[in-house]
Structures are given as structure tokens and as C-alpha cells.
């Protein structure tokens, strides 16, 4: 059975959401950082970086949330959740995945690191304004690209939708201004029942 290691609402939610979309059997292991679970040798054997999410599927141990969802969609998606390789839609999908991780998530996580994640003596409060400037700039471009209706590639719901919607949920939690079309897109996509099912399973395992 597939095992997902995570923390509720972290990037592991991208994976639990897709696992529910795929209707797979899977189990969730809550990695409690406060208890030092992230330094436990059994977890480090799965992800030597000690970060979540990580996933074990048989002999395959994988970290990096984008890599995990792309792997799962390729292996179990039966043609859904990803466009046909080599198509124009696939080119657009690649662009979105890179843009979400490099341009939208990166400034948000910079905020997170300098607010709470880094050791206190390393944090630089001035980084918050820099990261906000970067996020606003990237969000304005995403706003111009995102469609008024449906998903990023039109009718087909794909892995890129999970990555973007989750990143926009983070943006709200980080109290960022989100342009109107992106906001409507986020609400449309997060209304899918699989997201709530994935989150419920994360929360149940962590309680």
C-alpha cells in the first residue's frame, strides 16, 4: 500500500488530494516535527532531507511534492490528470508546474521561512517585503493566464490544478492579496470533494 508522510495542510495535501482523486488505497503517517519524527532513522530512510511530503510505493521512495504527484498521475492516472506527452497541452502543463513551484510558491515559502520556519537568529524580517513584491508580480502574471471557467487546460483537471490551488490556499493563509480571477479559480478547484477527503484523512491521522 502507498504510504504518504506529511503534516496536515502542508505540501503533503497536494499528494493526499491526488491519492483521493485516483481512488487508491493509501495510508498517512503524520511526521510530528515537535516529537522529532523528522529525525527518526525510519523516516530519514524514506527522505534523507527530513522534509515532508515523502512517499513510499513498494520499492520507490520519493520526495518533492511536484515529483510525487507527477509520478502518481503517470503510474495510476490511466490517462487522466495529465495531458498526452508531447502535446501542446503537455507543454502548457510543464510551464504551469514550473511557474507554480518556482515563481508563486517560492516567495510564499520565503515568507514562511522568515516568519516561522528558519531558526530565529537566521530570520530576516526585511525579506517579507521582498517576498511580497515577488509574489504580487508573479500572481499578476498568473491572473492574466488563468481561464475564467474550468481548469488550467480547459475541461481536463490535471496535476497542475492541484499544485496551483494548494499554493493559492497557502497564499490566503499567508495573508496575501490574490487577484479576483485567481481567487475564483481557487474556489472552483478546491470545491472538489477529493481535496476535503484528503485533508480529513491527514487530520484524522494527526489527531
Ligand X SMILES: N[C@@H](CCC(=O)N[C@@H](CS)C(=O)NCC(=O)O)C(=O)O
Q: How far is the CB of 181 from ligand X (least distance, A)?
A: 25
The whole-angstrom separation of Cα 66 and Cα 98 is 9
Q: How many residues bind ligand X (CB under 6 A)?
A: 9
Residue whose CB is nearest to ligand X in the complex, by number: 51
Following CA atoms 128, 68, 168, 80 in sequence, which dihedral angle do they give, to the nearest 10 degrees? Answer: 160
Site residues for ligand X, window 52-81 (CB under 6 A)?
52-53, 64-66
Q: Which is nearer to ligand X, 3 or 10 (CB)?
A: 10
Q: Check residue 11 for interaction with ligand X (CB under 6 A).
A: yes
Return phi, psi of residue 29, to 5°: -110, 115
Q: How far is the CB of 142 from ligand X (least distance, A)?
A: 18
Q: Which is nearer to ligand X, 52 or 104 (CB)?
A: 52
Site residues for ligand X, window 78-107 (CB under 6 A)?
none
Q: Which is nearer to ligand X, 52 or 70 (CB)?
A: 52
Site residues for ligand X, window 21-50 (CB under 6 A)?
50
Q: How far is the CB of 152 from ligand X (least distance, A)?
A: 19
Q: Which is nearer to ligand X, 51 or 201 (CB)?
A: 51
Residues 171-189 as b/e (b if ≥16 CB within 10 A, e otherwise) read beebebebeeebbebbeeb
Cell digits of residue 22 = 485516483
The whole-angstrom separation of Cα 139 and Cα 166 is 14
Q: Check residue 166 for interaction with ligand X (CB under 6 A).
A: no
> Strands 60-63 and 26-30: what pairing?
unpaired
- Near ligand X by CB under 6 A: residue from 5, 18, 19, 51: 51
Q: How far is the CB of 182 from ligand X (least distance, A)?
A: 20
**H or E element in which residue 111 lies:** helix 106-112
Give the relative orientation of helices 159-173 and 65-76 as an angle to the nearest 10 degrees. 150
Q: Which is nearer to ligand X, 169 or 184 (CB)?
A: 169
Q: Which is nearer to ligand X, 115 or 181 (CB)?
A: 115
Q: What angle do CA 168, 49, 201 make, to 5 degrees?
A: 50
Q: Look at residue 7 and give its three-state secondary structure.
A: coil
Binding site for ligand X (CB under 6 A): 10-11, 50-53, 64-66
Amino acid at each position: 500500500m502507498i504510504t504518504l508522510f506529511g503534516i496536515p495542510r502542508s505540501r503533503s495535501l497536494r499528494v493526499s488530494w491526488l491519492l483521493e482523486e485516483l481512488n487508491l488505497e493509501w495510508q498517512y503517517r503524520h511526521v510530528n516535527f515537535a516529537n522529532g519524527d523528522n529525525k527518526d532513522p525510519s523516516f530519514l530512510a524514506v527522505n534523507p532531507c527530513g522534509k515532508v511530503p515523502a512517499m513510499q510505493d513498494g520499492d520507490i521512495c520519493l520526495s518533492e511534492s511536484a515529483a510525487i504527484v507527477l509520478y502518481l498521475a503517470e503510474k495510476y492516472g490511466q490517462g487522466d490528470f495529465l495531458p498526452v506527452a508531447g502535446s501542446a497541452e503537455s507543454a502548457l502543463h510543464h510551464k504551469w508546474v514550473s511557474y507554480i513551484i518556482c515563481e508563486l510558491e517560492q516567495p510564499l515559502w520565503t515568507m514562511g521561512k522568515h516568519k516561522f520556519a528558519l531558526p530565529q537568529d537566521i530570520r530576516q524580517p526585511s525579506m517579507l517585503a521582498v517576498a511580497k513584491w515577488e509574489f504580487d508580480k508573479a500572481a499578476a502574471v498568473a491572473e492574466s493566464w488563468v481561464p475564467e471557467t474550468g481548469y488550467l487546460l480547459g475541461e481536463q483537471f490535471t496535476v497542475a490544478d492541484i499544485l496551483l490551488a494548494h499554493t493559492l490556499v497557502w497564499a490566503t493563509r499567508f495573508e496575501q492579496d490574490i487577484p479576483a480571477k485567481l481567487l475564483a479559480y481557487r474556489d472552483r478547484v478546491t470545491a472538489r470533494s477529493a481535496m476535503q477527503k484528503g485533508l480529513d484523512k491527514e487530520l484524522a491521522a494527526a489527531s
